[in-house]
Chains A and B, each alone.
Chain A
């Protein structure tokens, strides 16, 4: 092979590695939030026959994604609007849900993240699906989440349901 071609391939490979390493070491806010949401979906899911200690640990982990003054508003047709304020309120609600449900699969799809100009807050629009045991069709709900930057983490300060059809 010609020397210039070998050099070109090497430069390309090194450039790709550098690009990947830069993204890995200094991830963009959007990437961090996407990773957080992936983790949130995993933790919000309930495995069959989860041990009580696991339930408690997962609930505490779930709440740690939220800011201390976070507000979650659930407004879906046919149900009373519910608002949860702060981590304590959320923890109670999450523990209650885990006690009631034996199995739940949560997915957060089509995540669109918009980072604010000052890079201190971000808005994520996404579609949450929750498959309950014995149900073939998942419950689908569009959500709007607002994040604020706290040190190196992004904490959820607000979650509200979006009406896809008005």
Chain B
């Protein structure tokens, strides 16, 4: 049997580090933290894992990012924003870049996006593209989204007009 004086202070220190001076308060703190993390994770910063090659090279496969679900509370989505677009829910989402805004006419000519007939400057594009696609009118509550990897075949790349309600938030971090 160990003498009480030798083990006592050490045990006391470990106990204080783990559960604090007041265990009831620590329990409340843990509870508050759990609630806070759950609220942030569900309604504010949604973690996502990128699968697929459509956003290469800016968003690599299996990269972990976060979606800021509050990004568009005070202002509408902006051109150039990378956004998460939901299907029927948030379990699986599309990660795309907004290139066309509501009411605009979008087309692809020689691999360049044209908005209302004028070429769009896209400094984030790193890969060559040869897409050609006729002009398309974007609806009043729609945004045209496309991935950054436009070296893929036009038909193999998922892109198009997304309704505003489907945009969950802006991809950050």
A binding-site residues for B, Cβ under 8 Å: 77-78, 109-112, 125-127, 129, 136-137, 140, 142-143, 162-166
Q: Given A137-B52, A164-B94, are A112 and B88 neighbors across the interface (CB < 8 Å)?
A: yes
Closest 3 CB pairs of A and B: A110-B89, A165-B160, A127-B87
Q: How far is the CB of A166 from chain B (nearest CB, A)?
A: 4
Interface contact tally, CB-CB below 8 A: 53
Chain B residues 157 to 173 lying within 8 A of chain A, measured CB to CB, are: 158-162, 166
Q: Does B155 count as interface, using CB distance less than 8 angstroms? A: yes
Bound Cα distance from A42 to B145, whole angstroms: 34
CA distance A166 to B142 in the complex (A): 9
CB distance from A132 to the nearest CB of B (A): 14
How far is A111 from B87 in the complex, measured between Cα atoms in Å?
11
Q: Which residues 116-156 of B have a CB within 8 angstroms of A?
A: 142, 145, 155-156
Cα A77 to Cα B85 in complex, Å, equals 18
Residues of B within 8 A of A (CB): 51-52, 85-92, 94, 142, 145, 155-156, 158-162, 166
Structural contact, A137 and B160, CB atoms closer than 8 A:
no
One of A110, A125, A136, A143 near B91 (C-beta < 8 A): A110
Least distance between B1 CB and chain A CB atoms (Å): 35
Q: List 25 A-B contacts (CB under 8 A).
A: A77-B158, A78-B155, A78-B156, A109-B91, A109-B92, A110-B90, A110-B91, A112-B89, A125-B88, A127-B87, A127-B89, A137-B52, A140-B87, A140-B92, A142-B88, A164-B85, A164-B87, A164-B94, A164-B162, A164-B166, A165-B85, A165-B145, A165-B158, A165-B161, A165-B162
**Which among B87, B156, B158 is the interface contact of A142 at CB below 8 angstroms?**
B87
Contact residue among B51, B52, B87, B94 (Cβ-Cβ distance under 8 Å from A110) = B87
Chain B residue numbers with a CB within 8 Å of A163 are 160
Q: How far is the CB of B48 from chain A (nearest CB, A)?
A: 14
How far, in Å, is B172 (CB) from chain A's closest CB? 22
Q: Given contacts A137-B52, A164-B85, are A127 and B160 in contact (CB under 8 A)?
A: no
